[in-house]
Structure 1
Amino acid sequence: MKNRQNITTQTLKTSFGEILAVKDNGVVKAKHIRYAYSERFKKPVAVQPSQKQTIFPERTPVCPQNISPLLEKMIGETNPDHFEMDESPQYLSVFSPENCSENEKLPVIVWIHGGSYEIGCGDIPTADPTDWVKEQRVIVVTVSYRLGIFGFLGSTELRPPNLGLFDMIEALKWIKNYISDFGGDSENITLFGQSSGGDAIAHLMISEGTENLFQRVIIHSAPLGLRKNRQKMLAEFFRKTENYTAETKLSEIIDNYSNFSPSFSKYGLKAAMRFGTQYGFSPLPEESDAEDQWKKSAKKIDVLIGINDEETAFYLKASEKLNRFLPKRIMNKAIRVTTETIYGRPAKAFAENLAQAGGNVYLFRLYSRFSDHPFGAAHAIDLPFVFGNRSAWENTRILKNMPWQYIHENGQKLRNLWAGFARTGKVSDETEKPDIIEIKKYN
């Protein structure tokens, strides 16, 4: 049948239950499926199969958060009318090609969004995977999870840490159990994440309870240089906010937690990501054991990891004050040093650690290649190449002076490259590579 917007709808019959989906532009979109419930500061509880039909809400559910002025400036304004705040935001969406045959088993890519563990959600226009799904005939699942104080700050039984990681694990269990009903191969699942989403995926590799839930990972721009020696900072942040309980008004938490943020003067660059995963608390090992745990995972999980060449230009060049007072030479040096400290050297070390343990590992670096593009290969510049979606990206500040035709042509090649990795765990030398990338396999 068709609704008033002339969008075709269909009911998918799955072992989870009947799910209302939308057919649009060659892609079937089953959006906002609740995979778990949670109460504040408690672990998620999986949703059980039901005879009731799942109908997606009109507005996108998101974890309560403050809008980021930086993202508003660089990527575009957020329309609050499109979202609904929900302290239990455990929803996922499944995007699959039309006309999947009954016995078809397509590779599955699970998108874990970034946002410093503090902002964002799985379903936003700039991460709509329609182009990728149509071109490469893959299934993409987008996942939302708890953020900030609700998902990544804790220290006690009443407020445990890593709740957002537990949400992701429940989502992966749901995908493992039900994705075959959508035409997906439950034995060929690739996790794909950018920024803190990539950092989360790296830590899912060494989390309890994730065995056999995925076979490959694609990690973009993970701030792995900020992951170590965070416990003192997080413990202080927690102490200053421990008066927030299950009974505290939501508005009080959202309006005030930033007043207790860790200081740069005391904690340096780590304070730039005030929330995050915490070692020594379930489901993660002690920090001292993390490297060995990654080595143990090396032969089980194929890894594709990399960064953009000028990651921190996203933050430094967006600052009008810095642009006004810092000479260009000093600005460029600051970008180079901070990019390598937070992203570059840690990604290389991560790849080398896994390769030494016998892992199948690829390391890449993305470039912008446009001299009049003011932000260069900044943080998040990879996303329009991976997802396409011209209407969402074309007029964003981060792409200033970069022709969409260039993004589209390189994006098609990059999507093909990444889909090939999701299918086989390999980046073929025969596959045409985009101009924007350098990539190598670690032996």
Structure 2
Amino acid sequence: MAGADVFTTRSGRVRGRRSPRDPEIVTVLGLPYAAPPFGALRFRAPRPAAPWDGTRECTAFGPVAPQSAELPGAPAWSPGDEDVLTLNIWTPADGPGDLPVLVWLHGGAYLFGSSAQPDFDGTALAARGLVVVTLNSRLGFEGFGHVPGGSFPDNRGLLDQIAALEWVRDNIAAFGGSPDRVTVAGQSSGATSAACLVVADRARGLIRRAVLHSAVNACASVSQAARTTAEVASAAGVPATADALPLAPPHTLVAASDRVMDRYRQDPGSGKRHYDPALYGPVADGVLLTADPLEALAAGAGGEVELLVCHTTEEYGLMDAVGGGATIATEAGLSAFAAAFGLPAPLVDGYRARLPGASVADVHLALHSDLLFAEYTTRLAEAHARAGGRAHLARFDRRRGGRGKRVRAWHCADIPFAFGNLHEESVHFLIGGPPGDQDEKLSRRMTRAWASFAAHGDPGWDPLTPDTGAGAAVRVWRTAGETGGVPRGGDPGRGDGFRDLWRAAGLPLLPP
């Protein structure tokens, strides 16, 4: 360290500021880890950031990646913003050095989101003795669109994340962090991104541990990614070629992607994408990724990386609440949903039987939650354990009721608890308003578990064993006084939910 709030990196000196939430924590915001990925570098692998003279002021978040979303408390993307490959650091001002490092990858269906979201403020975790890093990487077509011809790599968003991890390896000691104790963490698409990095040879040696919350079942083949490119290019009015696509402005491809997704939402006969219209994600390109992370973990890839895996018990409730998914209220609609995903009748019937009196809509939400997130996430942990790796498993089941308003244990609700950011107004929709005392206690338990795992590989409960499923070794996160706090369909001590139904169905949960 060069001074209390000034740090020396390989590219030059940077000045941060004290966190407004805790003067003992220094924040360094908007620090470039790679060059702007536009112009001659568009659709290319990330390149190093240019060095600078003097001291760079790093007191504001950098621009977000091209996207159409406008999220509460976070900046929106503006055409012309190019320096989007930046990261942010929270570190104890008087830390002893050699601290464990947690690198956060945000979610957002690979389409939206940024490190500037208030729920990702790293102050509380840094106060527990971590150096926290959050980052922006390319999203949408810029990060994951397949460009035919072989001149441009697939998985550019993942390559950005690897570049950020390489920056951490080379520079984090200047901020009091240990490059040998790096935990990569993420939620939703960020969790799947982290899982991809765990199994990628290109990232080997950069990651010691990984935290995966609500990983999403989505990894495309090259041919599937090429079909998506054809659809988006058609909607943009440009040829789907390596010559034409780089000439299409980013905002044109963002708008075209939105139009393609909207068509799927409006077309009940469009199969899986009617219910889950996300277009982009990791591509099993045979270069960075040879297989879906679940397959790769089962084969022993990334065996040296320790995992902490978690999902919520009512994931898809969030999509339903915000109108982001198809509404299913009839038996015919439920049958069409099951047919689109190839779900066998005994599986659907099993959900009906274990949810007596539930509406068709609630049966669909339970099925879709487990199909898209919970079952895939749990299998990641089990596959890693069976292949000889170390994996801890948890489920988040905190709910809230009262005055006719119900907040489920839904997608994203766990992250403000784990980051210790319950008082941020932007997260109150997720958690059902301002936190109560029991919420505060739950948050402290979760931040402590993350910090202990990043430091020692032990979140506070036993890991899975090669011959056990998601049984006694699972931690169920909930508050003592919540409404309806028993995990759906399972024993409250085990939190198994509907696992046995999925095992009997024998579904691979991988794209066809």
**Residue 478 of structure 2: aligned partner:** 435
**Residue 362 of structure 1: aligned partner:** 392
Instruction: Identify the match of residue 18 of structure 1 among 4, 13, 33.
Output: 13
1:14 CA drift (Å): 3.8
For residue 281 of structure 2, give the secondary structure of its aligned residue in structure 1.
coil
Instruction: Identify the match of residue 319 of structure 1 among 295, 309, 323.
Output: 323
1:59 CA drift (Å): 5.6
**Residue 188 of structure 2: aligned partner:** 195
**Residue 4 of structure 1: aligned partner:** none
**Residue 61 of structure 1: aligned partner:** 63
1:87–1:279 distance in 2 versus 1, CA, 3 Å: farther
Deviations 1:272-311 (A, max 9, x none): 3211000024311145x96245543353000111200000
1:324–1:195 distance in 2 versus 1, CA, 3 Å: closer
For residue 60 of structure 1, give the secondary structure of its aligned residue in structure 2.
coil
- The within-5 A match list for 1:239-318 is 239-240=230-231, 241=233, 242=240, 245-261=245-261, 263=264, 265-269=269-273, 271-287=276-292, 291-292=295-296, 295-318=299-322
Deviations 1:377-411 (A, max 9, x none): 00000111012334424663222256343332211
CA distance in 2, matches of 1:331, 1:302: 37
Letter in 2 for 1:119: F
CA distance in 2, matches of 1:58, 1:95: 13
Letter in 1 for 2:158: L
CA distance in 2, matches of 1:394, 1:365: 23
1:342–1:336 distance in 2 versus 1, CA, 3 Å: same
**Residue 163 of structure 2: aligned partner:** 170
Q: Residues 95 and 130 of structure 1 are in contact (CA less than 8 Å); yes or no, is this contact kept in structure 2?
A: yes
Deviations 1:124-160 (A, max 9, x none): 21211112211x1111000110000100111433443
**Residue 114 of structure 1: aligned partner:** 107
**Residue 378 of structure 1: aligned partner:** 410
**Residue 229 of structure 2: aligned partner:** 238
CA distance in 2, matches of 1:303, 1:415: 16
Q: Residues 365 and 439 of structure 1 are in contact (CA less than 8 Å); yes or no, is this contact kept in structure 2?
A: no
Instruction: Identify the match of residue 457 of structure 2 among 425, 433, 438.
Output: 425
Instruction: Identify the match of residue 429 of structure 2 among 397, 400, 422.
Output: 397
Letter in 2 for 1:147: L
**Residue 28 of structure 2: aligned partner:** 30
Stretches of structure 2 lacking an aligned partner (at least 5 in a row): 234-239, 331-356, 463-474, 480-486, 488-492, 496-512
Q: Residues 90 and 145 of structure 1 are in contact (CA less than 8 Å); yes or no, is this contact kept in structure 2?
A: yes
More strand by share: 1
1:294–1:301 distance in 2 versus 1, CA, 3 Å: farther
CA distance in 1, matches of 2:360, 2:371: 16
CA distance in 2, matches of 1:296, 1:433: 27
1:343–1:286 distance in 2 versus 1, CA, 3 Å: closer
CA distance in 1, matches of 2:399, 2:83: 42
1:302–1:377 distance in 2 versus 1, CA, 3 Å: same
TM-score (norm. length: structure 1):
0.85
For residue 422 of structure 1, give the secondary structure of its aligned residue in structure 2.
helix
1:273–1:320 distance in 2 versus 1, CA, 3 Å: closer
**Residue 212 of structure 2: aligned partner:** 219
Aligned length: 419
Letter in 1 for 2:141: I
Instruction: Identify the match of residue 141 of structure 1 among 133, 146, 149.
Output: 133
TM-score (norm. length: structure 2):
0.74
Structure of larger gyration radius: 2
1:424 CA drift (Å): 1.0
% same residue: 22
For residue 310 of structure 2, give the secondary structure of its aligned residue in structure 1.
strand
Instruction: Identify the match of residue 91 of structure 1 among 86, 91, 101.
Output: 86
**Residue 373 of structure 2: aligned partner:** 343
CA distance in 1, matches of 2:324, 2:170: 49
Structure 1 range deviating more: 246-255 or 171-180: 246-255
Alignment RMSD:
3.1
Q: Residues 297 and 384 of structure 2 are in contact (CA less than 8 Å); yes or no, is this contact kept in structure 1?
A: no
CA distance in 2, matches of 1:279, 1:10: 42
Stretches of structure 1 lacking an aligned partner (at least 5 in a row): 1-7
CA distance in 2, matches of 1:320, 1:343: 15
1:285–1:313 distance in 2 versus 1, CA, 3 Å: same
CA distance in 1, matches of 2:88, 2:73: 23
For residue 102 of structure 2, give the secondary structure of its aligned residue in structure 1.
strand
Q: Residues 113 and 120 of structure 1 are in contact (CA less than 8 Å); yes or no, is this contact kept in structure 2?
A: yes
1:211 CA drift (Å): 1.2
1:419 CA drift (Å): 0.7
